[in-house]
Amino acid sequence: MPSPTATKPVIVSHATAIAAADVFAADELTLDATRFNRAADNAVEITPLTNRSIALNWSSPARNKSQYRIYSDMGTGYGVYIYKADVDEPSFIDSLLRSSFSYHYRVTRLTEKRLETILAQVKASTFSDPELLGDFTRSRESTTNAVIAAPTALPADAVLLGLISDNDFVDEFNTLTIVGELRNDANLDVGQTDISITFYDAAGTLIGHANGETILKVIPPGERSPFIITLTRPTGYVSYSIRAVARPVSPRKSAQLAVVGVRRYEDEAGFLHIKGTIENVGNSTAKRTKIAATLFGRDNGVINVAFTYVNPPTLAPGERAEYDATFAYYPRYANQQVIAFEE
């Protein structure tokens, strides 16, 4: 299979920044003329990473610590932009995208008064899915010389995450689930994770890709995050490889949440429940609170992962909430770990 065509980053500068006429689409946004004329100082570089992810990078004034907001048209092409994320760093990776699709993005900077100034609008297309190399029923000898596409070059500030363990299983609906744990071995906080999975057939020939992200949006140094990725089982799939990258981000200020109770049981239908209580032990209110439950085998390898909102999802300091994570697949299950976090 030929390597993907080299991608040239698209730079959006003063000449191609958002036109003033487009501001009507977002009434809350402000377009200061002076700042618009400085659009070249806020150039946005957009680069497709894989068939499921796109990276955005832009310059940030060294004198100011800015917060940015990302919008996307979600690949519709209708010119309607949907909020994606707030970021503290001048970079963002959009993942879980569709292959061979064009995506338009709007990048804004938040002022001290929480008003938004538009920096630029950019677009890029994800790579196409790799073509299948012939009939999977052919002999092994006929595939030994197949050429596998070269991996996409990583951004200069990308951080590789360490894979602790992983597992995969297929259900009765032919849905493939891949779960695991990733660790941040860097000495700084990372986020905007992108997990790239490459699938191979029995002869070792590349037959497809999938992408996902970690459950935790920010992973502190030395900490781990579980992940779960589901998709229709690729035809001819026998094995896979995983590469996970992240980007440096500012430490995230969040409520202090503690898991204060865990119990497990099987219901009459045969589902395993990991149920318990969390408490907000900090001084700030926790919003959109979730838990992630990871099941481990006797070898400490991941068996399955689930996540769910707690009830209630908003907790004032000192308040508690209940959670109930359900598993249909849990062979050789020995123990579990539950972490609580804000979405």
Residues 150 and 214 in one domain: yes
Tell me how crowded residue 86 is: count the other CB atoms within 10 A of its CB. Answer: 12
Phi-psi region of 204 (alpha: psi -120 to 50; beta: other; left: phi over 0): left
- The closest alpha carbon to 310, from 272, 339, 281, belongs to 339
- Residue 81's contacts (CB-CB under 8 Å, 6 or more residues apart) are 25, 26, 71, 72, 73, 104, 106
Q: Judge if the upstream peptide bond of residue 312 is cis by omega within 30 degrees of 0.
A: yes
Between CA 231 and CA 210 the distance in angstroms is 8
Tens of pLDDT along 233-272?
Answer: 999 999 999 999 999 998 878 889 999 999 999 998 889 9
Question: Is there a domain that residue 5 lies in?
Answer: no
Residues 37 and 89 in one domain: yes
**Encoded amino acid at 27, one letter:** D
The pLDDT of 37-60, averaged and rounded, is 72
Residues 193 and 272 in one domain: no
8-state DSSP, 76:
-
Question: Is there a domain that residue 2 lies in?
Answer: no
Residues 240 and 169 in one domain: yes
Q: Domain end: 248, 276, 299, which one?
A: 248
Between CA 198 and CA 174 the distance in angstroms is 18
Question: Is there a domain that residue 207 lies in?
Answer: yes
Question: If 0-12 CB within 10 Å is exposed, 13-18 middle and 19+ buried, where does residue 278 land?
Answer: buried
Residues 216 and 312 in one domain: no
Contact of 49 with 152, CB cutoff 8 Å? yes
- The closest alpha carbon to 25, from 116, 123, 110, belongs to 116
The pLDDT of 102-125, averaged and rounded, is 86
Question: If 0-12 CB within 10 Å is exposed, 13-18 middle and 19+ buried, where does residue 76 land?
Answer: middle
Between CA 201 and CA 234 the distance in angstroms is 9
Beta bridge partners of 94: 54
> The tokens of 260 are what?
């204060």
| DSSP-derived 3-state class of residue 313 | coil
Q: Domain end: 75, 91, 125, which one?
A: 125
Question: Is there a domain that residue 134 lies in?
Answer: no
Q: Domain end: 228, 248, 268, which one?
A: 248
Residues 18 and 101 in one domain: yes
Q: How many residues does the chain have?
A: 343
Question: If 0-12 CB within 10 Å is exposed, 13-18 middle and 19+ buried, where does residue 304 land?
Answer: buried
Q: What is the pTM of this model?
A: 0.58
Residues 177 and 240 in one domain: yes
Residues 271 and 243 in one domain: no
Residues 114 and 60 in one domain: yes
Residues 191 and 262 in one domain: no
Residues 215 and 235 in one domain: yes
Residues 68 and 159 in one domain: no
Between CA 177 and CA 37 the distance in angstroms is 49
Tens of pLDDT along 143-201?
Answer: 333 444 445 566 667 889 999 999 999 988 888 999 999 999 999 999 999 999 999 98
Q: Looking at residue 33, what is its pLDDT? A: 37
**Least confident window among 19-23, 142-146, 209-213:** 19-23
Number of domains in the chain: 3
Question: Is there a domain that residue 139 lies in?
Answer: no
Question: Is there a domain that residue 138 lies in?
Answer: no
Burial 133-144 (b: 16+ CB within 10 A, else e): beebeeeeeebe
Q: Looking at residue 146, what is its pLDDT? A: 40
Query: Residue 105 belongs to what H/E stretch?
Result: strand 102-110
Q: Looking at residue 62, what is its pLDDT? A: 53
Q: Which domain holds residue 155?
A: 146-248
According to the 3-state scheme, what is the secondary structure of 113-126? CCCEEEEEEEEEEC
**pLDDT above 70 for 83:** yes
Q: Looking at residue 155, what is its pLDDT? A: 67
| CATH (domain of 282) | 2.60.40.10
**Encoded amino acid at 226, one letter:** P
